[in-house]
Structure 1
Amino acid sequence: MRLKSAIWVSAYIRRCMVEGAYAVVRRRGAEEAGAIFVKIDRLDGTADLYGPAPQSSFDEPHPGDRAFMACLKAQPRPNEEAEKYLARQIDFDPDIWLVEVEDPQGRHFLDRVVG
């Protein structure tokens, strides 16, 4: 069984803070199962962006944990590119969550990043 999005986001923000990175929820999505995107602002005008990995990247039919993948072909990219990508995602699905992490080292603290 997968954690509700709201609980996962809360735990993720705590983890970022413990690791010494500042993290905030920029956009609240659906409490139960909204897609979660994580933007890593490197504080130099560039960012990394991670979003939900497609179901085809899972070995099991209904995984209990969340997997993420890089949304931009090459990372880091200029902040504007990440913001344009996010705007398209919000137009497509207004129930997404957006967590922004400020970390000059680009650490994402995501347990499972695929592809």
Structure 2
Amino acid sequence: MTHLLFSYGTLQLPAVQADVFGGPVLSEPDAVIGHVLGEVRIEDPRVVELSGSDVHPMLLPSPDTGATVEGIVLHLDDAQLAAADAYEVDAYERVEVPLHSGRTAWVYALA
């Protein structure tokens, strides 16, 4: 089964995709609607090392229904989605969101 996962942060990075998924994955540009970006401090040493930063973006709901966050949609299989879940820290939870393209996708947002 193919899962759509929207990334607005570190899962877009080639080094992170190589470690988490074993290499680059099929992706395409899109945007999440009704959300804005904040920041979260990451304490997991593996995630900090892979991403190169201890501050990561955090998707937050917005009262402005026209707000958008640009990013990419990753096309993942079951094992890759499980690997993405394992990579993300407890500050994030995976939820479904509407995309500008009219589709819905999983995304990691504020837990």
TM-score range (shorter-chain normalised) is 0.3 to 0.5
What's the TM-score, normalizing by structure 2? Answer: 0.33
